[in-house]
Structure 1
Amino acid sequence: MLILLWLLCVPIVITDLVARRIPNAWLLCVGGTATIWVGWQAWHGEPRVLWVHGLGALLGLIALLPFWWRNVMAAGDVKLFALIGLVAGYSALLPVWCLASVAAGVHALVLLTARLKWLSRWCEDLSASTAWQSILQWRAGRVGLPYGAYLAAAALVVR
């Protein structure tokens, strides 16, 4: 299951950091594979796996769904957290959530610090670069913190 977690999280870190997107097709492929794996394990005499991973998916969905309802979080982040619960099990959810929240808080502090006058020149130079302009084109106007990237990175650290 560790390989499946890496296959889920590494591309999500990249796509969410660069383009602020979590592709549904990728979540569906990994989710389908994880569901087949959990079913296979349960069929071959490990019924506990259904509880550990099924409860992880349910708790992951329930924990972040209110944030999506309040328009504080994107739906991709909620689906990703549910999928992390499915792949890693419910015991990984709280440490992943805490670690990702700390990382997102640090990111927010960096953004707030970048608004200081003495850093504004550096920020202007960065925003004028061609690399940054390419990233902005990939984002297509999507703004916000890449919380999904932090969830995925935290899942890799925790497991």
Structure 2
Amino acid sequence: MSDKRQVDYGAHSTNRLSIPSLNDYLYVIGNLNAIGLIVGETLWKVFGKRVQFLELIGDSIGAHLSDYINRAIAQASGNKHHFKSRKSVVLDTAGPDFFTPNGTNFNPLNTNDAKRVYVIHTDTIAADALISIGAVDFYPNGGFNLVVHRLTMPMF
């Protein structure tokens, strides 16, 4: 007897870009620097020099947030020892508005934002960054349309 499981991503999972979700996206990226500053300063206060052993993981906009957090940690530490997290593992970095010179957030994730930056690109056609931005970039399935969200049915 096989054990079949299904993953239900819920009503909020969609591959369509709607106006409300676009507004939310723009709102979040407009506040990314402030969010990163708060989280980075808090991590520095809580962990101090031990922050260098942290590993940050982010998906989409969260990938860039890990970048802003590391920059805030460096700033909070006074940049004396170039403290930053040990590793950032990011999945499907948000591309829109980060990699265009006229974008409001032309300050994308890069290899200097953690001691090691690993990037996994699974959907470069839709919203993932089309360029290599990590120390190591992985492209499962060639980086094209691996993520199918609610269209994914049986997992096992």
TM-score above 0.5, yes or no: no
Structure scoring higher RCO (CA < 8 A, sep ≥ 6) equals 1
Q: Per residue, is there more strand in 1 or in 2?
A: 2
When the two structures are superposed, what TM-score results if normalisation uses the length of structure 1? 0.29
Q: Please, what TM-score do these two structures have when normalized by structure 2?
A: 0.29
Larger helix percent? 1
